[in-house]
Chains A and B, each alone.
Chain A
Amino acid sequence: MLQWLYKLGSPRHFYEMTTGFIPWLSGITFFLLIVGVVWGLAFSPPDYQMGDNYRIIYIHVPTAIGAMGAFMMLACMAAMYMIWNLKMADMVARSIVPLGAWLCVLCLLTGSLWGKPTWGTYWIWDARLTSTLILLFIYVGMMALRNAYDSETAGAKAASVLALVGVINVVIIYKSVEWWNTLHQGASELSASDVGTNPPEIWIPAFFTGFAVIGLFFLMLILRTRNEILRSEQRTQWVQDLLKQELEEVATDA
């Protein structure tokens, strides 16, 4: 097991191992997604309080958890890069950032779609939405910082420092926004517990969509990281051979 993890640290082995992952990971993810979405949207019963509007949480809650979880993963990768100088960790970190940002955006969009019929407004300064907004700012800042550097290594290190600083901050930010919310007694929170009592028919689809979002995240992460590997290792022999092979295959197909 440890050997396998160790191997993942080499860009070449990562690329080769994940080539096998992709088909079955995509299969499972799309299965979970379809089941979860169809069940959640069409078949689970309407909530006695909110009618059909609550269904958006099937997407909203997983994306919120995903955005935060992605940040934690990012911080781990940043730590691995700074401590052990693992280039692979930085490539994964670099691929996580845009995905995390998109999860934030989706969370905010689905949150506002829920807010409109429920509270009459597209935007509400509640704890979760506000924290997610701030998290989005941090993700964007990280992309901006990395790109502002001319030297790639310097940019990678700077982004890692920011990620490590950010992870400590994010927890504090989350707690401070929660406290801020209670202080100002703003509108109630869009939490999953608003969905009355939770009979199984309601939260089982949530498991499906939850895992589907996680699966989608890892799938996109692997795809992006593979691209990143090809881009940054383009001058190595194995990438050149691989590309030649691909070009030949395309040529023979055409």
Chain B
Amino acid sequence: MLSAAGLYCERDERVLFSALNFSVEQGQVLQIQGANGSGKTTLLRILCGLNPEFGGEILWQGQPVPKVLEAYRKGMFYLGHSPAINKTLTPLQNLHWFCALQGFNADNEILHVLSAMGLRGYSDIPCYQMSAGQQRRVSLARMQLSAATLWILDEPFTALDKQGVADLEIRIAQFARNGGAVILTTHHLLQLECPLTVLNLDTLAGRR
């Protein structure tokens, strides 16, 4: 689905990774591991297209990403460190806009998804009145609503309680079983009910 060839990136005069090759297929969950500062977030931002400062090529369904940019953006969902939720708006308003950005209206689905995330009854409350964990779950609701086939998740388990963590793990495994692909980084010890591939940036670069 997504493959990277010869990726090279340096930051602050340090080479983070070079000649990096890997690919992610349907049903695969790839975890990027590495110590703090090893370039995990940078790699994810390169893959999703936010960071153009790299060498090498990224292919989506076999085509170079710049050629199929719109299809790639439709098929990919990125969850970064920031929750991408505006705190003055309600979850409903936030998610409505997110869906509009992706090109569809799913208002009737949004309430279902919010209930499934344990936020029933919160849909009309401004997000700043919710706890960090609840805001995180609104952010994760975007994942459920998106029509993407590839999820790129940077530390998705942040601010979640034990139940939230378990729920997310179940959801990731289900997504993979249904043919989706996931690339993620996390410090949390993953317990997924599906096969997990690991890419360790430190060992690849010969550090440690």
Contacts and interface: CB of A to CB of B under 8 A. Distances in A.
Please determine if A and B sit in direct contact within the complex, based on CB atoms under 8 angstroms apart: yes
Interface of A: 151, 153-154, 235
Interface residues of B, number: 3
B167 interface: no
Contact residues of B: prevailing secondary structure: loop
Interface in B6-44: 11, 13
B53 interface: yes
A154 B11 CA distance: 12
Nearest to A234: B13
A154 B51 CA distance: 10
A153 B13 CA distance: 12
Nearest to B13: A235
A233 to B, nearest CB: 13
Nearest to A151: B53
A17 B125 CA distance: 67
Contacts of A235: 13
A84 to B, nearest CB: 14
A13 to B, nearest CB: 21
Contacts of B53: 151, 153-154
A235 B13 CA distance: 9
B108 to A, nearest CB: 42
Nearest to A150: B12
5 contacts: A151-B11, A151-B53, A153-B53, A154-B53, A235-B13
Contacts of A154: 53
A215 B193 CA distance: 72
A151 B53 CA distance: 10
A89 B11 CA distance: 22
Contacts of A153: 53
A153 B53 CA distance: 8
